[in-house]
Amino acid sequence: MTTAIVWFRRDLRLADNPALHHAVRRHERVLPVYIHAPEEEAPWAPGAASRWWLHHSLAALAADLAKAGAPLLILRGDSLRNLRELARAVGAAAVYWNRLYEAAVTGRDTRIKQALRADGLEAKSFKAALLVEPWELKTGGGAPYRVFTPFWRAAGVLLPRQAPLTAPRPIAPVPNSPAGLPLTALGLLPEIPWDGGLRQAWMPGEAGARALLQRFCRDAAADYGKARDLPAVDATSRLSPHLHFGEISPLQLLARLRRLADEDTAAGLIANIEHYRRELGWREFSHHLLFHFPQTPQRPLLEKFERFPWRRPKDYAADLRAWQRGRTGVPLVDAGMRQLWHSGWMHNRVRMVVASFLTKNLLIPWQEGARWFWDTLVDADLANNTQGWQWTAGCGADAAPYFRVFNPLLQSARFDPRGAYLRRWLPELAQLPDEFVHAPWRSPQALPAGYAPPLTDLAASRRRALEAYGAVKTPADLA
């Protein structure tokens, strides 16, 4: 009888889980384990909203594994030490896991693989979080891609076409498994209960992901291309946290979209599905960039932005706080920041607007915004967050040019014309007529009680941003 350990990390699902599948196929007994070691991900250990999600996702995974026959063992502390002790205790022959791509994690995983192999164990990792591995794609010159369109074109030929793996059932457990910790011992939930909004908005776990995918295919996919930009409409899949924690795989999404296209070949639907696949492509591209440019969570990809004249922390501290709390006096920015605080998520268009406002109108370094998102988003993902911030700030790969400063009033009027999104998150503005809800200070009436005038003059701060950009402009930017 041989035993395999399956080391769960951010692949918290039974279906389409190559490490688990391999273990069940090749071994008589399987021990699923989760080891909590946030310090090994430093400086990007999960933030508060992610820890909330992780708690509930682990609870869902543990229940699913128990139903399948092999309960989840929960441990804490040094991953290598725990895996070694566990392998010894249960006489395991192999340890399997699915790959992640952040520098701190890949460094640790490589060391663990070598150490376990030196102990005489089989240690093997699998592709499960991405469609294409970051090292599988290179430009003609042999470099990593820095522009999305050629990246996605090149990825097209490598996209997997196989059917996703089904959830293995039953899974034969290890009879003499050591006792683990109760989930609550990990201390992932907040001590002060600020998570009511998160509980209302989400159902972490594999079943929650499946339900959202079904809803998206049924209600939203056919209009995705057009409606995905409207923050008041539930028009996107909201699968980002589920993808981040690996409760659903991108391969499962591709397969489901292919089936949807086969069921209904209307030209409009196919174009919308293609648009959605392209967004999954941005996720792949972000991971490609993070893998090849591991410094980018802290440093701009375009080096000239190292000398960008950001304001100094002591000068911007109060503005940063106002932005974080949704109290800038600019309705679309405030609505987005309050949606984030309440639900742990923000609509993509609004993410771009609040990021542009912070980095351009307030001249606050993008890293401050990325840090706040890291702590407050349930979908906080080092690859996507870094790419989203650098793209908006103009210093990343294939970025919006720096001189593109989103005008939050025009964005608001265009994508939320009736102010439905604004009124949902800013009850102070609920009574304003449509024509003033985007810019309440323009109303002949006094500002609603509790709503401040804008923190900064939008036109003057835009000019200031463009002047600051002059400091890093190169002759190539002027060509």
Question: CA 146, 109, 49 angle in degrees (round to 5)?
Answer: 75
| Residue 430: CB minimum distance to ligand FAD, A | 25
User: What is the CB-side half-sphere exposure of residue 473 using CA atoms within 13 A?
Assistant: 14
Of 131, 367, 157, nearest to 250 (Cα)?
131
Write out the two tokens for 314.
Answer: 């002591």
Residue type, 179: A
Q: Tell me how many residues contact ligand FAD (CB under 6 A).
A: 28
Is residue 237 near ligand FAD by the rule CB under 6 A? Answer: yes
User: Which residue among the candidates 366, 372, 391, 425 is catalytic per the annotation?
Assistant: 366
User: Which residue among the candidates 41, 122, 133, 279 is catalytic per the annotation?
Assistant: 279
Residue 229 contacts by C-beta under 8 Å, 6 or more apart in sequence? 348, 349, 415
Strand pairing category for 29-36 and 94-98: unpaired
Is residue 340 near ligand FAD by the rule CB under 6 A? Answer: no
Active-site residue flag, 389: yes
CA–CA separation, 120 and 84 (whole Å): 11
Active-site residue flag, 135: no
Of the pair 68, 257, the CB lying nearest ligand FAD is at: 257
Q: Which of 282, 308, 415, 425 binds ligand FAD (CB under 6 A)?
A: 282
| Residue 314: CB minimum distance to ligand FAD, A | 25
Is residue 352 near ligand FAD by the rule CB under 6 A? Answer: yes
Active-site residue flag, 279: yes
Is residue 56 near ligand FAD by the rule CB under 6 A? Answer: no
| Coil vs helix vs strand at 406 | coil
| Residue 259: CB minimum distance to ligand FAD, A | 17
| Residue 217: CB minimum distance to ligand FAD, A | 11
8 A C-beta contact, residue 164 and residue 251? yes
Is residue 390 near ligand FAD by the rule CB under 6 A? Answer: no
Is residue 379 near ligand FAD by the rule CB under 6 A? Answer: yes
Is residue 131 near ligand FAD by the rule CB under 6 A? Answer: no
Is residue 239 near ligand FAD by the rule CB under 6 A? Answer: yes
8 A C-beta contact, residue 99 and residue 129? yes
| Residue 76: CB minimum distance to ligand FAD, A | 25
| Residue 67: CB minimum distance to ligand FAD, A | 27
Q: Which of 16, 40, 102, 381 binds ligand FAD (CB under 6 A)?
A: 381
Q: Which of 198, 280, 340, 432 binds ligand FAD (CB under 6 A)?
A: 280
| Residue 267: CB minimum distance to ligand FAD, A | 21
Chain centroid to CA 439: how far?
31
What angle do the packed helices 408-415 and 348-356 form, to 10 degrees? 160
End-to-end Cα distance, the chain = 69
User: Which residue among the candidates 41, 122, 133, 310 is catalytic per the annotation?
Assistant: 310
- Secondary structure letter of residue 136 according to DSSP: G
Active-site residue flag, 136: no
User: Which residue among the candidates 282, 374, 391, 425 is catalytic per the annotation?
Assistant: 282
| Residue 395: CB minimum distance to ligand FAD, A | 12
CA–CA separation, 441 and 451 (whole Å): 10
Is residue 240 near ligand FAD by the rule CB under 6 A? Answer: yes
Q: Which of 125, 385, 456, 461 binds ligand FAD (CB under 6 A)?
A: 385
- Secondary structure letter of residue 157 according to DSSP: T
291: left (phi over 0), alpha (psi -120 to 50) or beta: alpha
Q: Which residue number is nearest to ligand FAD in terms of Cβ?
A: 388
Of 131, 120, 45, nearest to 88 (Cα)?
120
Active-site residue flag, 366: yes
- Is the CA virtual torsion 438, 439, 444, 449 positive or negative? positive
Q: Of the ranges 107-115, 182-190, 298-306, 344-352, which one interacts with ligand FAD (CB under 6 A)?
A: 344-352
The pair phi, psi for residue 463, each rounded to 5°, is -60, -40
Is residue 368 near ligand FAD by the rule CB under 6 A? Answer: no
Q: Of the ranges 157-165, 275-283, 295-303, 320-328, which one interacts with ligand FAD (CB under 6 A)?
A: 275-283
CA–CA separation, 149 and 282 (whole Å): 10
Q: How far is CA 304 from CA 107, 176, 201, 220, 255, in A?
A: 28, 58, 41, 41, 42
Is residue 388 near ligand FAD by the rule CB under 6 A? Answer: yes
Length of the chain: 479
Active-site residue flag, 194: no
Cite the active site residues: 279, 282, 310, 348, 366, 389
| Residues at the site binding ligand FAD, with contacts judged by CB under 6 A | 228, 236-240, 243-244, 279-280, 282-283, 286, 348, 351-352, 355, 373, 377, 379-381, 384-385, 387-389, 392
